[in-house]
Structure 1
Amino acid sequence: MTRGDVSALTVFRGRAGDHNERGMRGARLLGEELARRTGSGSVSIGQSRPALNASWETELAAALPELRRLARRYEEVLRAGSVPVTAMNRCAVGLATLPVVARHRPDACVVWLDAHPDLNTPGTSGSGYLGGMVLAGATGMWDSGLGADLSADNIVLGGARDIDPAEQRMLDEGLVRSVPVGADLPERLRSAVAGRPVHFHLDCDVLEPGILSTDYPVPGGMTLEQLRAVSEVLAEHELVGIELGEFEGGRSAEENAAAGAPELVGAVEPLLRVLDGR
C-alpha cells in the first residue's frame, strides 16, 4: 500500500467543525475497511468527542492541535516517499493536509470531489461552516494557520452543485476548474487533470443522497458506479494521496453494517490497486 517504508494509512477522528459525532464514527469504519482491504496497519489521530456546533473561529481553535499533528504525519509519510491514505471525519481536515501535499508535490493536481466547492472565506460564508472554507484556506484566500501552499490552478472540482454566489463568481472567472456530474465526468476529469500527478479527495456528499449517510445531502449526485469509473480514470495517473471523508457511521453494529463502508471503499479500489502495485 505504500511506496516508501512508512505505514501510510491514517484515521483522523479529531474535531474538525463537526455538527455531530457521526463523521468521527464513520472515519473509524472507513479506516477499518481500508486496513482490511489493504492489509495495512494504521495510525489514528484524535478521538470521538461531542460536537461543538460553534463559530468557525471556535471550531478551528479546537481543531488546531490535532490538525497540526496530522500535518506532521503527512510530512513524515511524504518525506519517506509513501502515499498518504486517510479516512477523515470532515472535509475541514483538508486544511491540514493540502498545504503539506502542495509543498512536497507542487506539480500535483488536487481532484476534489464534493457537492460543494468549499471556496468560501470567513467574509463570504453565509453559514460560517469551517468545512466550506477548506480550499480557500489552502490557497491563501484566508489564513487558517495551517499553510496556504496550494495553487488554485492545481484544483479540479468534480460534482459541485450547491454553490454560493461568491464561489460561483470564482468558477465563472475560471479561477478554479469545475467539472459537473454527468455521463462524461470521467473523461472530462481526465482532460482537466491533463496527465498531472493526482491527490484525490472524496466528500461522500458528492454522491446521490440515500446511497450513503452524509451531513449535507444534495440532489443530483454521482452513483457508486460513476465513482468507480472516475477512480479507474484517475488510477491512470501517478497518485500522490487519497482522502475519504464525510462518511457517517451509526451508534449500533446494525447501523454501521448498513452504512456502506465496504461499498464505498470498493468504488475507489482501482486507486488502492495502484498503490498495491496490482
Structure 2
Amino acid sequence: MADHGTDSGWDLVVTPWHLDEYLPAFPIPDTAAQAPRPALPAGSVAARMSRLHRAALDTVASAARPLVLSGDCPTTRAAVAALQRRHRDLAVLWLDAHGDFNTPAISTSGYLGGMALSMLTGRTPDLFDDPLDLRPVPDTNVVLAGARDLDPAERDALTGSHVHRVPADPAAVVSALDELGPVPVYLHLDIDVIDGAELPGARFPSGPGPSLAQIADCLAAACATADVTAAYLACAWLPEHVDDHATRRTITRLTTALGASLT
C-alpha cells in the first residue's frame, strides 16, 4: 500500500500487532514509520503489551500529526500519551461498535481489547507495568459514537459515567464535538463500527450498523468541524484477512475521508 499523501498533513505510523501478537501480513504504506518491534518478555499478555506500547509511544511522539494504522485498540494508550506531551487538554472521539469500557473487574471474558477506552479514562490503573505517563482523559471530554454491542456491566458503567454517547451519524458527531469547544481532538476508529455485512474477515463483527459510506462521512465531518490533531484506525481483521483486497479498500476509503491519500 503506497502512500501518496505527502501534502495531506498526516504522518503515517503503523503498529502491526493485535495485543501482543505480531501481524506479519499487515499492510504498511511505503512512507509510513513503523513502530519498532522489541523483544517481548515471557509472562502476562499485559506485560508484553506494555513493551510494545512503549516502543510505539516514541514513534507516534515524533510525528507532527500522526495517523496510526494498528491491529488493535489498546495501543491507543501510546498514541494518547504521545499527544499529551504537547497538548494539555485533549478530547477523544471514539467510533466503535463496542464500548471498550470493560475493566478487569467487570469483564466476562478478560479480553484486554475490550478495555481500551477504560484505559484512557483511568479505569485500569494497575493493569500495565508501564503507565507511559498517560493522564486520564476526563469522561466529559469523550464522545463515544456508534456503540451498539455492549456487555451488561459495561452498559451500566457507561450509564454511570459522563461519556457522551451519540449515534454514528455525521450531524450527531458534529454536534457533540461542538459542545466540547475548541480543544484538540484525538479521533479513534475501530473498523467494526461499520455494518458487519461490509466487513468480511473482521475479528469481532457486530451485525447491522452504519455503512462504510456513513462512517466515512463521520470522519470527514469531524475533520471539517474540529481540530483533529491525530487519528487512529484499529484495523481489527483476522490475521488471514488483514491484507485482503477488501480490507485494503476499506482502509483506503477511511483514510481518504480523513484527508490522507493511500493506494
- Change beyond 3 A, Cα 1:17–1:66: closer
Within the candidate set 255, 258, 262, 1:271 is matched to 258
- Change beyond 3 A, Cα 1:267–1:13: closer
Q: Number of aligned residue pairs: give it.
A: 246
Q: TM-score, normalised by structure 2?
A: 0.81
- Structure 1 gap ranges (5+): 36-40, 50-56
Give me the whole-angstrom Cα distance separating, in 1, the residues matched to 2:240 and 2:113.
23
Is 1:43–2:33 an aligned residue pair?
Answer: yes
- Structure 2 gap ranges (5+): none
Q: Which has the higher helix share?
A: 1
CA shift, 1:105, in A, is 2.3
Deviation per residue, 1:10-66 (Å, 9 max, x gap): 111245155xx6xx256x32x32xx5xxxxx2221256x9xxxxxxx8211112212
| Other-structure match for 2:152 | 165
Within the candidate set 14, 18, 29, 1:11 is matched to 14
Identity within the alignment, %:
27
Which residues in structure 2 correspond to 1:58-207 (within 5 Å)? 58-77=44-63, 82-143=64-125, 144=128, 145-146=130-131, 147-181=134-168, 185-194=169-178, 195-196=181-182, 197-207=184-194
CA shift, 1:259, in A, is 3.0
- Alpha-carbon RMSD: 3.1
Amino acid at match of 1:227: I
Within the candidate set 216, 226, 244, 2:204 is matched to 216
Deviation per residue, 1:73-95 (Å, 9 max, x gap): 22332xxxx10111101112112
- Change beyond 3 A, Cα 1:248–1:193: same
CA shift, 1:246, in A, is 3.1
Structure 2 counterpart SS, 1:104 = coil
Structure 1 counterpart SS, 2:259 = helix
Give me the whole-angstrom Cα distance separating, in 2, the residues matched to 1:168 and 1:137.
16
Structure 1 counterpart SS, 2:243 = helix
Are 2:167 and 2:173, in contact at CA under 8 Å, matched by a contact in 1? Answer: no
Amino acid at match of 1:214: A
